[in-house]
């Protein structure tokens, strides 16, 4: 049962086990009540045990105690299972929460079920001591809900899956050319018009196809508040992304005056129904700035996170080159070119966010034309942007597409459902190193951490998202949390051995992961695996 993922810093095992029973109690001391509530709910669902709130460890030695230990780092925890019961201590409630996640793994895969399958089974925690702490403070997952909308329940489920893997930053990609997914009260057409597209490109290559089926959806501000609160209970910070000045066709379709009206007829634009880099970008006008300040004002009220992501990626400059308005702006500001105009645009929101006590983060294109003072960078086009930013003293989140883009295929085989050619296998992800050797230790301190990105052009529902995300997210979680050696020295065989236990957990969670061997989910023949015809009736 100690096949833990992500691998903890240190485990010392002895013989014996704590057996949870009907009279076992859970006691959450000062500052850990929220974790206690989460843990008792999760374990009650799975085990059917009452786990009543207790005062202290029982004489029986089968209770669970949660408490803070100010001597530990903020996300650090210690889990001791011995004749006294199970004690989880953390430097903060977050540390205790990660310890509670470890406890769930120690209880076995059935601890991930939503209802007990067998009443008579024992729930045991082996005697051991675990000392553990994360390598990085930013252990992120980015989910693109713009290309394909994911209903709120799916987002909450993703947060649960992140928590189970000790990931703590949810980068919520809320807007793009293909859809605007967050209600903004002062600009209602962003969702009325911007959240729906009439059809979606499905085919690839020379002869694209469209499905002729409307697609859309958005989160109300109440939904967003619920998502943020749900994440907070799981010690996950939600970083919202509102993409500017590129990836904005959905917004322009809703409010045509946001586009370069002197270059194209923006009234003719609708929410984009295909993929790729879109030429229709925001006009660099005062009207656009005021409009988006209004958007960000509402965003700041909904999301308490220190960082706010403003996109900044893939902004073709062609319309700005042809626009008299954009050119006048370049002259008026004394800028050299369109790249500097993009920097000015991002710089405006950097100061605007800083004045409100927040920090801007953007994709590495925001380096072009000069990086705004306090800005942090999501390095996606390899490491180069991250290296340049760290050297210039900016904070960085490493998420190079060559390693941690989970929309890329995970196997070269012809049956892989993804039309993207690049292969990023489970082992590739496991051998991903977020801190490139080029950085000095001083510069490396600017690497806040790392993030896996799930772009959903080819994922129309959460089963496809599961398939692309798992099992690779388990490897990614270990890279983000555990103190692994250099890539070549990593023990992938040991990781695979632990994955055998982890697949059972993913099964219990109902995740449609890519199986390590055997037929892919849609290739299973009816009647082969599954419940035997004359098997026992399901237990109640």
Beta carbon of residue 393, minimum distance to ligand TNX (angstroms, whole number)? 23
Q: Is 250 or 335 the residue whose CB approaches ligand TNX more closely?
A: 250
Which candidate in 215, 247, 348, 502 is catalytic? Answer: 247
Question: DSSP secondary structure string, 465-507?
Answer: HHHHHTTHHHHHHHHHHS----GGG--HHHHHHHHHHHHHHHH
**From 131, 273, 313, 460, residue interacting with ligand TNX (rule: CB under 6 A):** 313
Q: Is 136 or 405 the residue whose CB approaches ligand TNX more closely?
A: 405
Should residue 352 be labelled a site residue for ligand TNX when binding is judged by CB under 6 A?
no
**From 218, 405, 430, 495, residue interacting with ligand TNX (rule: CB under 6 A):** 405
Quick note: the x/- pattern for ligand TNX over 254-293, rule CB under 6 A, is ----------------------------------------
Binding residues for ligand TNX, total number by CB under 6 A? 8
Question: DSSP secondary structure string, 364-429?
Answer: GGGGTT---TT-EEEE-SSSHHHHHHHHTT--EEE--HHHHBTTSBS--STT-S-----B--HHHH
Should residue 314 be labelled a site residue for ligand TNX when binding is judged by CB under 6 A?
yes
Site residues for ligand TNX, 353-392, by CB under 6 A, read: 363, 380
Which candidate in 314, 340, 416, 496 is catalytic? Answer: 314
Should residue 407 be labelled a site residue for ligand TNX when binding is judged by CB under 6 A?
yes
b/e per residue 257-284 (b: at least 16 CB within 10 A): ebbbbebbebeebebbbebeebebbbbb
Whether 68 and 31 have beta carbons less than 8 Å apart is answered as yes
Q: How far is CA 115 from CA 42, 47, 49, 62, in A?
A: 10, 7, 11, 22
In the residue annotation, 314 being an active-site residue is answered as yes
**CB hemisphere CA count around 131 (13 angstroms):** 6
Site residues for ligand TNX, 415-444, by CB under 6 A, read: none
Beta carbon of residue 279, minimum distance to ligand TNX (angstroms, whole number)? 14
In the residue annotation, 176 being an active-site residue is answered as yes
Structure token digits, residue 284: 């660099």
Beta carbon of residue 275, minimum distance to ligand TNX (angstroms, whole number)? 7
Q: Where are the beta strands (DSSP E) in 21-154?
A: 25-28, 52-53, 64-68, 77-82, 85-90, 123-132, 138-144
Should residue 460 be labelled a site residue for ligand TNX when binding is judged by CB under 6 A?
no
Beta carbon of residue 147, minimum distance to ligand TNX (angstroms, whole number)? 7
Residues that bind ligand TNX (CB under 6 A): 313-314, 363, 380, 405, 407, 455, 457
What are the catalytic residues?
Answer: 176, 247, 314
């Amino acid at each position: 049962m100690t096949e833990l993922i992500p691998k903890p810093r240190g485990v010392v095992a002895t013989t014996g086990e704590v057996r949870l029973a009907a009279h076992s109690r859970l006691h959450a001391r000062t500052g850990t009540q929220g974790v206690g509530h989460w843990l008792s709910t999760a374990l009650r669902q799975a085990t059917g045990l009452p786990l009543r709130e207790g005062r202290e460890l029982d004489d029986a030695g089968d209770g669970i105690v949660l408490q803070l230990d100010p001597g530990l780092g903020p996300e650090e925890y210690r889990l001791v299972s011995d004749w006294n019961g199970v004690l989880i201590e953390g430097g903060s409630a977050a540390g205790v929460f990660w310890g509670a996640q470890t406890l769930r793994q120690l209880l076995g895969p059935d601890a991930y079920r939503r209802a007990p399958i067998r009443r008579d089974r024992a729930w045991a925690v082996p005697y051991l001591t675990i000392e553990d702490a994360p390598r990085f403070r930013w252990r992120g997952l980015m989910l693109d809900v713009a290309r394909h909308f994911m209903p709120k329940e799916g987002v909450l489920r993703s947060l649960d899956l992140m928590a189970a893997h000790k990931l703590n930053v949810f980068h919520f990609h809320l807007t793009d050319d293909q859809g605007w997914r967050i209600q903004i009260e002062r600009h209602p057409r962003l969702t009325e018009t911007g959240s729906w597209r009439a059809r979606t490109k499905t085919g690839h290559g020379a002869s694209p196809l469209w499905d002729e089926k409307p697609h859309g959806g958005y989160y109300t501000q109440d939904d967003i508040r619920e998502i943020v609160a749900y994440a907070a209970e799981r010690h996950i910070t939600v970083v919202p992304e509102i993409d500017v000045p590129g990836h904005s066709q959905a917004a322009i379709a809703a409010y045509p005056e946001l586009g370069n009206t002197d270059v194209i007829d923006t009234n003719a634009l609708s929410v984009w129904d295909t993929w790729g880099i879109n030429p229709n970008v925001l006009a660099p006008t005062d009207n656009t700035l005021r409009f988006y300040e209004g958007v960000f004002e509402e965003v700041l009220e909904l999301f308490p996170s220190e960082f706010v992501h403003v996109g900044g990626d893939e902004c073709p400059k062609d319309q700005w080159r042809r626009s008299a308005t954009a050119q006048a702006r370049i002259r008026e500001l004394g800028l050299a070119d369109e790249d500097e105009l993009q920097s000015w645009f991002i710089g405006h929101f950097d100061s605007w966010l800083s004045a409100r006590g927040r920090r801007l983060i953007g994709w590495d294109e925001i380096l072009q034309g000069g990086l705004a003072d306090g800005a942090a960078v999501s390095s996606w086009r390899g490491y180069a942007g991250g290296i340049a930013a760290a050297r210039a003293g900016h904070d960085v989140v490493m998420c190079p597409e060559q390693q941690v883009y989970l929309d890329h295929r995970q196997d070269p085989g012809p049956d892989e459902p993804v039309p993207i050619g690049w292969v990023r296998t489970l082992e590739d992800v496991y051998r991903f190193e977020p801190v490139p050797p080029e950085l000095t230790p001083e510069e490396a301190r600017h690497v806040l951490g790392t993030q896996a990105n799930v772009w959903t052009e080819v994922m129309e529902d959460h089963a496809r998202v599961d398939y692309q995300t798992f099992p690779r997210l388990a490897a990614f979680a270990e890279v983000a949390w555990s103190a692994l050696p250099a890539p070549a020295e990593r023990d992938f065989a040991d990781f695979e051995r632990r994955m055998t236990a982890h697949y059972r957990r993913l099964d219990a969670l109902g995740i449609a992961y890519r199986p390590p061997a055997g037929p892919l989910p849609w290739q299973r023949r009816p009647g082969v695996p599954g419940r035997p015809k004359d098997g026992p009736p399901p237990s109640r």
